[in-house]
Amino acid sequence: MQVVTPIDIANAIRIDLAAIVDDRRFFCIPLPPDLQAGDVVIESLGGSGVSGNADVYDVTIGVYDVDEDAATQAANAISGIVASLPLRVTSTQYSNATVNKPYADHDPRAPQLARQSFRASVICPGNRINF
């Protein structure tokens, strides 16, 4: 039986987005104590194996901004970047990424900010573990 070593997909996406987008702050859960407009939070929702050498990871990405229009524009741009990660990142970390459309997702922890969220599924090859 073969399985692959899991990766911290939320942190991997955070690192790659921060390298591509320089006017936003990127975090993984838990939320930063000073959450502000322009922040993007990535949370891993789990995933599953798709083959003997790859796993699919599900994430949700929340984009915070001053109002719904700004949050929507930023979420659309960032979802496009996530969908294109297999083409943008020169490593073989991503082999496929699909994203859903952003939706309004009010966060009661940050009532002063608008948040748009979207979900993505990312397939990543991994290092095989042989049993």
Domain assignment of residue 96, given as a range? 2-126
Tens digit of pLDDT for each residue in 34-92?
999 999 999 999 888 887 778 899 999 999 999 999 999 999 999 999 999 887 775 55
Strand segments, DSSP code E, in 30-106 are 39-51, 54-65, 96-99, 103-104
Domain assignment present for residue 131? The answer is no
The model carries a pTM of: 0.89
Domain assignment present for residue 16? The answer is yes
Domain assignment present for residue 52? The answer is yes
Structural domains of the chain, count: 1
- CATH code for position 51: 3.30.2000.10
Is 26 in contact with 42 (CB distance < 8 Å)? yes
